[in-house]
Amino acid sequence: MNINMLMQQAQRMQKDVETNMKKAKEELAQTEVHAEAGGGLVKVTMTCRNVVKRIEISPELLQDDADMIEDLIAAAMNDAARQAETISEEKMKSANSGMGLPPGLSGLF
């Protein structure tokens, strides 16, 4: 195998990775996670690109003090962010898989 063939193969692999990453990012923008706190008193819907779509607060919670409401909103948002991060990591790993990269190098893309 000569160097030109290796360079062409590397360029094809790079284009494949870029295409897979773009597709994965588009899918993540459409994928939603749902989280809740306080036994469902606060619910958050967020995309895996960290765009909050909806926050629902139970009317019965609105009678409580603001500190509790704020804490529950923060807890639900953090749970949604963790879920989105987990899904994003898995999606990006799968976008890089199959590229024939040695272990540890796929995380560079």
Alpha-carbon gap, residue 68 to 61, rounded angstroms: 9
Q: How many CA within 13 A on the CB side of residue 93? A: 8
Strand partners for 36: 43
**107 pLDDT more than 90:** no
Measured distance CA(43)–CA(68) in Å, rounded: 14
- What average pLDDT score do residues 38-64 get? 93
User: Mean pLDDT throughout 35-56?
Assistant: 94
Tell me what pLDDT residue 105 has: 52
Q: State yes or no: pLDDT of 98 exceeds 60.
A: no
User: Cα(107)–Cα(48) distance, rounded to whole angstroms?
Assistant: 19
Q: Above 50 in pLDDT, residue 79?
A: yes
Helix (H) or strand (E) holding 89: helix 66-96
